[in-house]
C-alpha cells in the first residue's frame, strides 16, 4: 500500500491478523493512520491545521460475505497528521463459510478545517481483506493460575481442537504482550517449574480433543495484581503434512498480589544493661500457603533504627543475640508466635527503636522467596533497673549492740539467676566482719532470705547508717555479672526503756573517779583559790573511795620506793592522808560534797540577786 501525503486528512487502514475460521467469533484489530503531510496544513499561531481530523468514527461492513460485523460504530480521538491509533472490532464467521479471502469495508467519517477556515465533513472508505481458513483450529481457556506479583509460577490451560481436521506434531507456544509478564525456561532442578516453560509439545491432536498444557511465567516485582493477557499459538501439521500455524488465541491470566506477612501482638521487655526479649506473632496475609518460613534479623549497621536520629547496628548498644527464627509452614490467615533475644548494652540510651525483620519462605513450587519490604517492629528500651529488690526485715540497732539482720532479696530480672553471692561492706560505726551470703538459684520474681551479722560501735551516734552490699551472680548465659552497690539503711536508736547499760555506767563512774582523783591531788591549791565557798573549805578533808584509792596506790607503787613512802596520815602532813586507808572517819561521802556544793551555789546566786 502506498502511503499518501496531502494537506487534508487522508486515512490508511491496516489489519495485522486477518485469518479467521468457520464458526468462530473473534476480534479483528485495525490500525488506522492519518497519512496527511505533517508539513502541510498551515503553521500560523491559533490556526487549526487543515490536516487534522476531528470527530472521527469508524464502521465495518462485511457486505454479503461470511464475515458478520458485531461491533457498532466506534468513535475515535482527534487525529493529527501522521498519527496512528488501533481499534478492535468483533466479527462472527459463518459455520459453513468456505475457505477464501473476503473484503470488508472500513468507513471513516470525520470533520476538518479548510484552508479558508470553514468546517467540512467527509467520509472515506477503505477495504481490508479477511481470510477464512478451513483447517484445525483451537479454543483455549485458563484452568488455573498461581502467579503472584514478584514471583514465578505456573498457568494451566485447556485447549480444544475445534477445527475440521486432525493435527499432528502440535506444539503450543505461550507469550504475553504485557512487559510485566514473561514466560521462562526453568533452570532450578528442585523446582516444580522444571516441567513447564514457554512452550509444550502435544503431538497428535484429534478433532474435538481437549488437552491440558502448562506454562511457566514470571511477574515483575512492581507489577499490579490483575489479569494479564497471554497469547497461545498452536503450530502443527495438517493432514497433508503441511506446516501450519493457527491464529493466536488471547486468554486472561490472573496474578494475585505479592505474598505478604504482618506482625501482631508485639511486646518487648528490654532494659539498658541487660538482655531482653521481643515477642510477637507472624501472620500470613496470603494469598498462598507457604513453607519453610524463617524470620531474619540482620545485625548490620542499619537494622536497629531509633525513631529519631541515625541508624545503629552491630557496633552499637542494641543488637540481636540470634538473627534467625524458624517458623515453619503457614496457611493464609494463620499466625504463629515468634521471639528474639536482644542484647542492650550498658551505654545504650533508653527510648524507642525500630527493628527490621525480613521474611524468607518457599512458595508452592519450592522456590525460595523473600518479601520485598521488611517488617518494621517497634521496640521500647527502658532505663536500667536493679537486678534485685531488697527488703530489710529488721535493721534497728542500739549503740554497742551486735545482732543479725535478715534481708529478703527478689530477682527482678526476666531470667533465672544462679550462684548469687552477697558481700556487705561497712564503715564505722558499723561492722560486719567477713560475713557473706549465698543463694544457689532464683527464678524470675522468686525471693530468698539472707542473714548477716552486724555490730554497732558503743559510741555510735543516733542516726541512719548505710550498709553497703554488692552482688555477684551468673545470668542464664552463664556469664558472671557484678551489680552496682546497694545501700541498706541501718537505724541506730537510743534505748528508751530507762535502763542504763553497763557500758554507759562504766563510762560514767570512770569519769567521776577521774574528777575525784584530780580534785584530791590538788586539794590544797583548790582550797586557797576557792576560799569562801563553804563546801569547798572542806575539800582538804576529802578522801578517795577505797576503789579509787586502790588505783592510786598502784600508781604510787609504780613511781616510789617503798621505803621512802610517807606515813603521814593527817591533812597537814607533807603528803596528806593515805589515800589507800580504809579508815573512813575523816573521809567525806560524795553525796555530802555534792549536796553542800548545790547549797553553796544556791546561796551564791541569792547574794548576787540582792
pLDDT in tens, 46-61: 678 889 999 999 999 9
Hey, what's the cell of 127? 477495504
260-382 and 388-492: identical CATH topology: yes
Q: CB 255: neighbour CB atoms within 10 A?
A: 26
Hey, what's the cell of 68? 458478520
Check pLDDT > 80 for residue 562. no
Give the per-residue pLDDT at 24.
80
Of 454, 458, 463, the closest CA to residue 394 belongs to: 454
Alpha carbons within 13 angstroms on the beta-carbon side of residue 241 total 0
For the segment 240-293, what is each residue's pLDDT rounded down to a tens digit?
A: 888 988 878 899 999 988 889 999 999 998 998 888 889 999 999 988 899 999
Tell me the helix, strand and coil percentages in the chain, rounded to 5.
10, 45, 40
For the segment 292-327, what is each residue's pLDDT rounded down to a tens digit?
A: 999 998 755 444 544 433 333 444 688 888 889 999
| Block residue for cell numbers 521474611 | 359
Dist. CA 91–CA 20, nearest whole Å: 9
Hey, what's the cell of 286? 496470603
Q: Which range (41-45, 243-247, 251-255, 390-394) has the least confidence?
A: 41-45
For the segment 424-450, what is each residue's pLDDT rounded down to a tens digit?
A: 998 999 998 777 899 999 999 999 999
Long-range contacts of 119-123 (CB under 8 A, 24+ apart): 122/8, 122/9
Q: Is 9 exposed, middle or buried (0-12, 13-18, 19+ CB in 10 A)?
A: buried
| Block residue for cell numbers 470553514 | 118
Q: Is 253 exposed, middle or buried (0-12, 13-18, 19+ CB in 10 A)?
A: buried
Give the per-residue pLDDT at 308.
35
Check: CB of residue 506 under 8 Å from CB of residue 400.
no
- The residue ranking higher by pLDDT, 106 or 245, is 106
Tell the CATH superfamily of the 138-256 domain: Immunoglobulins (2.60.40.10)
Long-range contacts of 582-586 (CB under 8 A, 24+ apart): 582/546, 584/543, 586/541, 586/543
Dist. CA 20–CA 199, nearest whole Å: 23
Hey, what's the cell of 105? 469495508
User: Is the domain 388-492 a CATH 2.40.50.140 member?
Assistant: no
Q: What is the CATH number of domain 11-132?
A: 2.60.40.10
Give the per-residue pLDDT at 513.
61
Q: Rounded to whole angstroms, what are the CA distances from 160 to 108, 197, 264, 465?
A: 38, 20, 48, 98
Residue 509 has phi, psi (to 5 degrees) of -65, -30
Give the per-residue pLDDT at 188.
53
Check: CB of residue 461 under 8 Å from CB of residue 492.
yes
Which of the listed CATH numbers 3.20.20.80, 3.40.1080.10, 3.10.180.10, 2.60.40.10 matches domain 260-382?
A: 2.60.40.10
Work out the average pLDDT over 180-209: 76
Check: CB of residue 194 under 8 Å from CB of residue 228.
no
Residue 140 has phi, psi (to 5 degrees) of -140, 145
Give the per-residue pLDDT at 345.
86
Give the per-residue pLDDT at 160.
94
Q: At what angle do helices 546-559 and 502-521 cross, to 10 degrees?
A: 60
The DSSP result for 350-371, as a single string, is PEEEEEEEEEEEE-TTS-EEE-
* Range ranked top by mean pLDDT from 194-208, 567-581, 582-596: 194-208
Annotated domain spans of the chain:
11-132, 138-256, 260-382, 388-492, 513-609
* Range ranked top by mean pLDDT from 90-94, 132-136, 187-191, 196-200: 90-94
Check: CB of residue 77 under 8 Å from CB of residue 56.
yes
For the chain, the distance separating the N- and C-terminal CA atoms, rounded to the nearest angstrom, is: 153
Computed over every residue of the chain, the mean pLDDT equals 79
pTM of structure: 0.50
Give the per-residue pLDDT at 40.
63
The DSSP result for 208-229, as a single string, is T-EEEEEEEEEE-TT--SSEEE
Hey, what's the cell of 326? 524458624
Check: CB of residue 46 under 8 Å from CB of residue 150.
no
Check: CB of residue 6 under 8 Å from CB of residue 50.
no
CA angle 43, 48, 54 (to 5 degrees): 135
Check pLDDT > 70 for residue 543. no
For the segment 449-484, what is each residue's pLDDT rounded down to a tens digit?
A: 999 999 999 999 999 999 999 999 998 888 898 998
Residue 562 has phi, psi (to 5 degrees) of -60, -35
Helical segments of 241-381, H only: none
For the segment 402-424, what is each residue's pLDDT rounded down to a tens digit?
A: 998 999 999 998 889 999 999 99
Check pLDDT > 80 for residue 569. no
Q: Rounded to whole angstroms, what are the CA distances from 80 to 44, 63, 120, 122, 139?
A: 16, 30, 16, 15, 39
Residue 196 has phi, psi (to 5 degrees) of -130, 165
Amino acid at each position: 500500500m502506498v502511503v499518501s501525503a496531502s494537506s487534508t486528512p487522508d486515512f490508511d487502514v491496516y489489519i495485522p491478523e486477518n485469518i479467521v475460521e468457520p464458526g468462530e467469533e473473534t476480534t479483528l484489530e485495525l490500525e488506522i493512520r492519518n497519512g496527511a503531510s505533517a508539513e502541510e496544513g498551515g503553521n500560523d499561531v491559533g490556526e487549526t491545521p487543515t490536516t487534522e481530523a476531528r470527530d472521527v468514527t469508524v464502521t465495518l461492513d462485511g457486505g454479503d460475505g461470511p464475515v458478520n460485523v458485531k461491533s457498532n460504530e466506534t468513535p475515535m480521538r482527534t487525529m493529527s497528521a501522521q498519527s496512528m491509533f488501533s481499534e478492535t472490532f468483533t466479527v462472527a464467521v459463518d459455520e459453513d463459510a468456505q475457505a477464501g479471502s473476503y473484503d470488508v469495508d472500513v468507513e471513516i467519517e470525520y470533520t476538518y478545517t479548510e484552508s479558508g477556515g470553514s468546517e467540512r465533513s467527509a467520509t472515506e472508505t477503505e477495504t481490508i481483506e479477511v481470510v477464512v481458513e478451513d483447517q484445525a483450529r483451537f479454543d483455549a481457556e485458563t484452568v488455573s493460575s498461581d502467579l503472584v506479583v514478584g514471583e514465578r509460577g505456573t498457568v494451566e490451560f485447556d485447549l480444544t481442537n475445534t477445527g475440521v481436521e486432525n493435527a499432528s506434531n502440535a506444539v503450543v507456544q505461550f507469550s504475553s504482550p504485557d512487559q510485566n509478564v514473561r514466560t521462562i525456561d526453568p533452570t532450578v532442578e528442585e523446582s516444580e517449574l522444571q516441567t513447564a516453560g514457554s512452550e509444550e509439545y502435544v503431538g497428535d491432536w484429534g478433532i474435538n480433543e481437549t488437552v491440558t498444557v502448562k506454562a511457566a511465567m514470571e511477574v515483575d516485582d512492581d507489577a499490579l495484581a490483575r489479569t494479564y493477557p497471554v497469547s497461545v499459538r498452536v503450530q502443527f501439521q495438517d493432514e497433508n503434512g503441511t506446516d501450519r500455524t493457527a491464529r493466536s488465541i488471547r486468554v486472561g491470566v490472573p496474578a494475585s498480589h505479592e505474598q505478604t506477612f504482618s506482625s501482631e501482638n508485639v511486646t518487648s521487655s528490654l532494659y539498658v544493661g541487660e538482655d531482653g526479649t521481643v515477642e510477637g506473632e507472624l501472620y500470613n496475609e496470603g494469598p498462598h500457603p507457604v513453607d519453610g518460613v524463617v524470620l531474619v534479623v540482620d545485625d548490620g549497621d542499619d537494622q536497629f533504627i531509633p525513631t529519631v536520629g541515625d541508624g545503629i547496628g552491630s557496633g552499637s548498644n542494641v543488637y540481636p543475640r540470634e538473627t534467625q527464627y524458624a517458623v515453619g509452614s503457614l496457611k493464609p490467615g494463620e499466625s504463629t508466635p515468634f521471639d528474639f533475644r536482644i542484647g542492650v548494652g550498658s551505654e545504650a540510651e533508653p527510648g524507642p527503636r525500630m527493628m527490621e525483620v525480613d521474611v524468607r519462605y518457599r512458595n508452592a513450587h519450592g522456590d525460595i522467596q523473600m518479601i520485598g519490604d521488611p517488617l518494621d517492629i517497634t521496640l521500647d528500651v527502658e532505663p536500667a533497673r536493679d537486678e534485685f529488690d531488697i527488703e530489710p526485715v529488721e535493721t534497728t540497732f542500739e549503740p554497742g549492740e551486735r545482732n543479725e539482720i535478715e534481708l529478703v532479696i527478689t530477682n527482678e530480672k526476666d531470667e533465672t539467676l544462679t550462684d548469687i553471692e552477697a558481700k556487705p561492706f561497712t564503715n564505722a560505726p558499723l561492722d560486719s566482719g567477713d560475713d557473706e551470703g549465698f543463694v544457689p538459684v532464683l527464678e524470675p520474681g522468686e525471693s530468698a532470705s539472707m542473714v548477716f551479722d552486724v555490730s554497732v560501735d558503743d559510741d555510735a551516734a543516733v542516726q541512719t547508717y548505710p550498709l553497703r552490699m554488692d552482688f555477684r551472680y551468673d545470668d542464664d548465659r552463664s556469664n558472671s555479672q557484678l551489680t552496682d552497690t546497694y545501700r541498706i539503711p541501718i537505724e541506730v536508736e537510743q534505748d528508751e526503756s530507762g535502763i542504763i547499760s553497763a557500758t554507759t555506767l562504766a563510762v560514767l563512774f570512770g569519769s567521776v573517779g577521774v574528777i575525784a582523783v584530780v580534785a584530791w591531788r590538788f586539794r590544797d591549791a583548790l582550797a586557797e583559790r576557792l576560799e569562801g565557798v563553804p563546801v569547798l573549805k572542806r575539800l582538804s578533808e576529802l578522801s578517795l573511795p577505797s576503789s579509787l584509792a586502790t588505783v592510786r596506790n598502784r600508781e604510787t607503787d609504780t613511781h616510789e620506793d617503798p621505803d621512802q613512802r610517807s606515813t603521814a596520815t593527817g591533812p597537814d602532813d607533807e603528803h596528806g592522808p593515805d589515800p589507800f586507808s580504809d579508815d573512813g572517819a575523816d573521809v567525806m561521802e560524795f553525796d555530802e560534797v555534792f549536796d553542800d556544793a548545790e547549797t553553796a551555789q544556791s546561796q551564791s546566786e541569792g547574794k548576787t540577786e540582792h
